[in-house]
Amino acid sequence: MKKTIALALVVMLAVTSLFANGGSESTAADADTYVIGFIGPLTGDNANYGIRCSNAANLAISEINAAGGIDGKQLRLIAENSLGTVDGAIAAYEKLVYSDNVCAIIGPVFTSPALAVAQRCYEDGIVMITPSATHKDVTSVGDFVYRTVPSDSLQSEVAAHYFYEVMGLRNIACLYAMNDYSQGLATGVEEIFTQLGGTVSAMETCMVGDRDFRTQLGAIRSTDAEAIYIPNYTVEDAQILEQAYQLGMNLPFLSSDGFSDPEIYNLAGDFTDGVIYVGPAQAEASTILTDFTAAYSAAYDGDLPDSFATNAYDATYILAAAIDRAGSADRQAINDEVKATTDFSGANGIINFADNGDMIASQGVYQVEGTTPVYLGSFQVVDGHIVQVD
């Protein structure tokens, strides 16, 4: 029996060392490359978010490299799979930071892994920019943690004010998934909307991965809500829209940046007309977003980026600019330079970071006509009232 154990261990070590030589060659940070890590779910239920973000980051890096890199040095992205779990994200982090010696990290994509990794980044002193973890606590972990996605408190504030002040709604219902993203937005909108004097007549919940929402929709139908707010991921939103149609409901739908994924028009294109959603703002007279969309589509077989991928693209450019200014792979210097980012002009407009690492940005409002989102302008809440910025 002991022999078997010993044999098994020897085989494992042998296999490991066999691959280790080949592996270390490709992973060692050599002198003329800056290595950036990416953590996100690349397999499993929500892999499309991770894959899109890593694709966008890869695209940004190949653009930078094609333009000569940073001071002649090339950038390289190592994408690791978080499996969407805390354990997986920590393992990916350990691999990137200790085996690959990356100089900064983009990701993780979801909030809970982001919270776990943020704490490690803060302790180990390595910059982390998440393109999509919206929960308000992510940046409160400490220094070194940034995001290129608005905190859900910012987005829900603009959303609630827009619904109440601009659209004149007084009674809405929410149907949200029990995850950090949807719950953060829905409870945020509920709180502010009621403060403004409106009524939230139903807060219906579901689980991520649910495919049947007819019970919740039936409950909402029995209230006198004027509109339904659905701050969920694409697939859930698509299902809700279609099943509302099947149940003969014709209330207007309101949504969040999860709706910015063009996939929604493939899944529920017949039912998207009239949906209003709050998403990233667009800079006026800037072609960065359209150029990025075209380049992404060309590079990845006609797939289109969602707003999180756009955020990842911006994050990569912000990081590259910071590395350029820092002039070295020194993690502290990169952190100082990321913090010093001012008026960065990205695909999502002008980006600045607040002291805690949150993104300061206006929010854009879109209305879908058929299957085309029409930009209604970008908004900010100033002194308790919504103001159109441009």
Q: How far is C-alpha 276 from the chain's CA centre? A: 19
Residue 53 exposure: Cα atoms within 13 Å on the Cβ side: 34
Which of residues 64 and 117 has its CB atom nearest to other proteins in the complex?
117
Applying CB under 8 A, the span of 64-72, 202-210, 322-330, 374-382 interacting with other proteins comes to 202-210
Which residues in 209-248 contact other proteins (CB under 8 A)? 209-212, 214-216, 218-219, 221-222, 234-235, 238-239, 245-248
Distances from the Cα of 274 to the Cαs of 113, 251, 253, 254, 256, in angstroms? 35, 10, 7, 9, 14
Q: Of the candidates 59, 104, 109, 115, which one interacts with other proteins according to CB under 8 A?
A: 115
Applying CB under 8 A, the span of 37-45, 64-72, 324-332, 365-373 interacting with other proteins comes to 37-45
Q: How far is C-alpha 285 from the chain's CA centre? A: 24
Which residues in 128-157 contact other proteins (CB under 8 A)? 135, 137, 141
Which residues in 161-180 contact other proteins (CB under 8 A)? 177-180
Which of residues 65 and 85 has its CB atom nearest to other proteins in the complex?
85
Residue 294: other Cβ atoms inside 10 A: 12
As measured in angstroms, the least distance from the Cβ of 303 to other proteins is: 8
Which of residues 341 and 356 has its CB atom nearest to other proteins in the complex?
356
Q: Pairing between strand 359-360 and 349-353? A: antiparallel
Where does the chain have alpha helices with state H?
2-27, 47-66, 86-94, 111-124, 152-161, 180-196, 214-221, 234-246, 263-268, 288-299, 307-326, 331-339
Strand order in the sheet with 349-353: 344-346, 349-353, 359-360
Applying CB under 8 A, the span of 79-87, 328-336, 337-345, 372-380 interacting with other proteins comes to 79-87
Which of residues 162 and 233 has its CB atom nearest to other proteins in the complex?
233
Q: Of the candidates 55, 58, 81, 148, which one interacts with other proteins according to CB under 8 A?
A: 81
As measured in angstroms, the least distance from the Cβ of 269 to other proteins is: 9
Angle, vertex CA 174, rays to CA 173 and CA 175, nearest 5: 130
Which of residues 281 and 312 has its CB atom nearest to other proteins in the complex?
312
Which residues in 342-371 contact other proteins (CB under 8 A)? none
Which of residues 138 and 283 has its CB atom nearest to other proteins in the complex?
138
Question: CA 261, CA 102: separation in Å to the nearest integer?
Answer: 30
Q: Residues, the chain, total?
A: 390
As measured in angstroms, the least distance from the Cβ of 301 to other proteins is: 9
As measured in angstroms, the least distance from the Cβ of 66 to other proteins is: 21
Question: CA 5, CA 11: separation in Å to the nearest integer?
Answer: 10
Does residue 294 interact with other proteins by CB under 8 A?
Answer: no
Applying CB under 8 A, the span of 2-10, 57-65, 336-344, 355-363 interacting with other proteins comes to 2-10
As measured in angstroms, the least distance from the Cβ of 342 to other proteins is: 30
As measured in angstroms, the least distance from the Cβ of 159 to other proteins is: 19
Distances from the Cα of 134 to the Cαs of 23, 222, 256, in angstroms? 35, 32, 12
Question: CA 251, CA 267: separation in Å to the nearest integer?
Answer: 19
Question: CA 68, CA 85: separation in Å to the nearest integer?
Answer: 37
As measured in angstroms, the least distance from the Cβ of 43 to other proteins is: 5
Helix (H) or strand (E) segment spanning residue 36: strand 33-40
**Binding residues for other proteins, total number by CB under 8 A:** 83
As measured in angstroms, the least distance from the Cβ of 30 to other proteins is: 14
Which residues in 95-114 contact other proteins (CB under 8 A)? 95, 98-100, 111-113
